[in-house]
Each structure stands twice: as structure tokens, then as C-alpha cells.
Structure 1
Amino acid sequence: MRRIIESLSLYGILFFLMSSSLYASEDNIILLSEEANSPPYSYESDGTPTKGLSLALMNGIFAHLGAKMDLKLFPWKRCLIHMKQGTRDALTVLSINEERKEFLEFTEPHLEIKGYVYYSAAREKGISWNSFEDLKGFKIGVVAGFNYGKEFEKSKKELSLQISEVTRLSQNFEKLTLGRIDIMLANQAEAGEFIRLNPKYKGKIKHAEKPYIVYQYRMAFSKKSNKRHFIPKINDVIKKMKSNGELDSIVSNFF
């Protein structure tokens, strides 16, 4: 009987150790979501990415973090649903706005990119502007769900700006060259990479000198995730990578 009890105790200890190890392993894995097919951040349509700026940034950060990542690609709306429901832990590259702060907690910025006003090179006169009021007479192309900053959102309402909304950046490039919109707003990284991948637009699109925003991109954790305790450590890693030039080195491979 004593041997049976000792055996049961041993099995209990082994089970506890295995369970604890599994729990610790799961607690050390952060489930990341990223928008699919969004160059230069991602290129594949689903699954696990093999290239892109977001993957490069996450590889750099997690190399210092002492945690593992499970990065998967999804349509943008699905990414936001994951964050609202807490079914995955964090997004890789995202800018802040008031709506997002309701369900997301953000890290320090790990990437800065300018947003520009783009127009067709076929225009007789280029576009220069100082305030959004200067754009009041233009039909402006934007992408649904994208963050264009507080100033634009405020001006859009107060100035009754003419907005033409699409679901993909590529649609605005087409509309711009066909004259269906006058200008479009886009960040330099996405617009530049789109033109590189679609050379038929090369030389046909220009942008105004003044940016409408300087985007600060960050990782963003779902407020329902139990992995938010990693945020202070991620902030320390980002600061270290900024000071030693590692972040600049990563980004320079894409710009």
C-alpha cells in the first residue's frame, strides 16, 4: 500500500511539473496579429509571414525580450476583432487614435513614417498646402479604417472636406490616375512600396512637400490580453534599440 501511495505521489509531482512547464511555456508566447498583404509591412495573404518590415521589427524586438512570438497574418478587420475580443495578444505596427485606445494598450513607438498628400503628375500645377483648409476644393481619397490623425479628422468635419473612401490603397492609385479623385492621403512607406511593386505608376504620382502627419507606430496589446505585463520590458527594448542604432538599421533595409 505504501508503494502505491508513493507511486501516486510521484505521478502527482510529475503531473504538476509538466503542467507548470506547459503553463510557463504558454505564458512566454505572445500571439501577434498583422495585416495581410500590406507591403512593406507584410507580403503574404495569410499564415505565417516570411518577409516584411513588421516581421523584421518583431524579430529584432523579441531577440532581446526573452519571450517567443507567434505571428500570423489576417485581414485588417479580423486583426481588430482579435484585439477587441482578446483572442490574440497584440498587433505589431499601429498608430494611436482615440477609438483604438478604448480597447488597446500601446508601447513606445518603434517606427516613424511621414504621411503625404499625393496627386497625379499629369496635373498642370503641383499641389502645395499649409492647412487642411487649402484642400477644401479637392476630392480626397482615403482608405476605410486607416488613421489619418486628429487634425485631419477634425478638419474633415469642420470644413466638410470632400472624402472618397475605398477599402484598399491600390484603388486610390487607380482613381488618382484616372482623375476620379484629385488627391489621396497615404504614408510614405506604403505608397513608395506600392509604386515599386507596380511600376506602371512610376513617374505618374507625386506628393506635396509638406506631410500631413508624422506617424508614430507602436505595438498594441489587447486590453483583454494577460500578456500586457510585457509592455514595460518591450519599452525598455525599444529604447535600447533606438540608442544603439538597431532600429534604424532594420528600417533602412526597407527604405
Structure 2
Amino acid sequence: MKGWLKSVFALLCLALNLQATACQLRFAAETDFPPHLIKNDEQHWHGQTAELLQALAAKVGCQIDYRSSPWLRSLMQLKSGELDVISHLYRNAEREKDYYFLGPHHLEAIWLIGKAADFKEVRTLTDTIHLKPAPRIAVLNGAYYGEDFAAVQRNPGFAALLVPISSIQDKLALLNAGRVDAILEDRSVLHYWQQHQLKSASLYRPIVQIYQAPVYFGFSKKSISAAQFAKLQQAWLLMEKDQTVRNIQQRYQPQ
């Protein structure tokens, strides 16, 4: 009898071990969103967001399955359970119906970024409406830039300036190619460009702050159970307590 119990216990342990090994978090990742998500030549991921999620996954015994997906599609896939987690998600009551929120992992500061000479008369976002020639401003399709931005966007004159872009890479490429005059982007991205002396980075300046708010990891309530999320929460609290979160953030943020 004792031998039978030992065998059952060993099988249970093996099953649990296999389950932990097989655990994967399907994560929507932009391939070039420094300093948050950076894919190097060896196809390895690093950056503030990537390393925070890697540390979290390691604590709960999971691997990360990185999936390239435009932002708006990622939100829909997270809601349906086709993705397990995305990052940089603003928290509100409506979204809490479909997603668990963990963090915050970053304080996002969205600015109008462009060449200072092109926007020297701009003190507020609405000032861009009166510029001649009219500037082209790239915005991420499906992104939330705050209620003040939404109010200005209802002005047809301002809405006509906006160029919707499906991914971070498209937005940055258009700016560098001169096909848009400004972008709405987190200031930490501009800091990374200039710190690493990327092409044309020194020409750009933060013109007007659009919105600032904490952003979170969002987990799908379709694919992640309440019990699984409780384990993720516990792991995150441990990472905060042992300074893992702070140490990773400090490596990538302006001091």
C-alpha cells in the first residue's frame, strides 16, 4: 500500500512539474519599442518591460511566447483569450471587466515630439491647428491619450492632422523618413534614441505633454484564471519587495 501511495505521489509531482514546464504566457510584443521592448540580433528580448515580464514569468514557472501583433488587434486578442498578456495598458473600470491589471510597471508620459523649429509657436495641443503648413502627426491606432486629447480630437481641424499608424515601428519610421512632422510618444523613447545617438534623434524635442499616467500589464480573464492571477500578483509583490522591479526600471529610465 505504501509503495502504491509513493507511486501516486511521484506521478502527481511529475504531472505538476510538467504542467509548470508547459506554462506559457502569450505576450504581444512590438519588435522595436526601446527602452521597453528590444529584440537584439540574436533574437533575444531585453528592455524594461521585457525584463520585468521575464522576471515575473520565472517566479511562477512560466515561459514567454512573444507574438508580434498591432496594438488594436492585441487588445481584441487579449479580450478573446488568444493572448494572455500585454503591457502598457491604461487602467479603467470598463477594461477591468475583461482584463486583470498588474503593476503599474511604468509611468508613461506621452508628448508631442518633433523638430522644435516646426513647433516654436505651439504652447498647447490646439495651437497645432493654426500652423502653416499643417503638420502631420502620427498616432498609434487604438491608443488612449487621455480625455483632454479626446476632446481636442473632436475638433475636425485637429482630427485632419492625425495619421493613424498600426504599430510603433511604423510611427518611428515615418518620422525618421520625414513623412510625418511629429509623433505622440512616451518621452522615454526619445531619451533612448538620443542616449544611443540613433539617426536624426538629436533633431527632435518634446514639444507639449499630452498625457501622463501609470500603465500596467493586462492579463486576459478568458485565458488566465483568478487563481493563476493571484499567483502572478504574489510574485509581483515579491519582486517589489526584493527591489527587482525598481532595479530593472532604474537601468532604463532617465535619472
Common fold, TM-score beyond 0.5? yes
Provide the C-alpha distance between the structure 1 equivalents of 2:74 and 2:65, rounded to a whole number of angstroms: 10
Q: Match of 1:55, as an amino acid?
A: A
Partner of 2:250: 252
Q: C-alpha deviations, 1:122-147, integer Å up to 9, x for none?
A: 43726322xx4334345422122333
**Does the 8 A contact of 1:45 with 1:73 survive in 2?**
no
Tell me the CA shift for residue 75 of structure 1. 1.5
Provide the C-alpha distance between the structure 1 equivalents of 2:55 and 2:228, rounded to a whole number of angstroms: 15
Q: Match of 1:136, as an amino acid?
A: I
CA gap of 1:44–1:167, structure 2 versus 1, over 3 A, is same
Identity, % of aligned pairs?
A: 18
**Does the 8 A contact of 2:57 with 2:64 survive in 1?**
no
Provide the C-alpha distance between the structure 2 equivalents of 1:188 and 1:234, rounded to a whole number of angstroms: 29
Which of 141, 150, 158 is 1:153 aligned to? 150
Provide the C-alpha distance between the structure 1 equivalents of 2:122 and 2:241, rounded to a whole number of angstroms: 37
Q: C-alpha deviations, 1:13-49, integer Å up to 9, x for none?
A: 8468525742575268351403141322222389974
Provide the C-alpha distance between the structure 2 equivalents of 1:15 and 1:81, rounded to a whole number of angstroms: 42
Of the structure 1 ranges 117-126 and 184-193, higher mean CA displacement relative to structure 2 is found in 117-126
CA gap of 1:30–1:141, structure 2 versus 1, over 3 A, is same
Tell me the CA shift for residue 79 of structure 1. 4.1
CA gap of 1:98–1:204, structure 2 versus 1, over 3 A, is farther
Tell me the CA shift for residue 204 of structure 1. 1.1
Provide the C-alpha distance between the structure 1 equivalents of 2:10 and 2:81, rounded to a whole number of angstroms: 28
Q: What TM-score comes out, normalization by structure 2 length? A: 0.72
**Does the 8 A contact of 2:35 with 2:188 survive in 1?**
yes
CA gap of 1:37–1:140, structure 2 versus 1, over 3 A, is same
**Does the 8 A contact of 2:30 with 2:167 survive in 1?**
no
Kindly tell me the number of residue pairs found equivalent between the two proteins.
242
Structure 2 runs not aligned, ≥5 long: none
Structure 1 runs not aligned, ≥5 long: 1-5
Partner of 1:207: 206
Q: What TM-score comes out, normalization by structure 1 length? A: 0.72
Structure showing greater Rg: 1
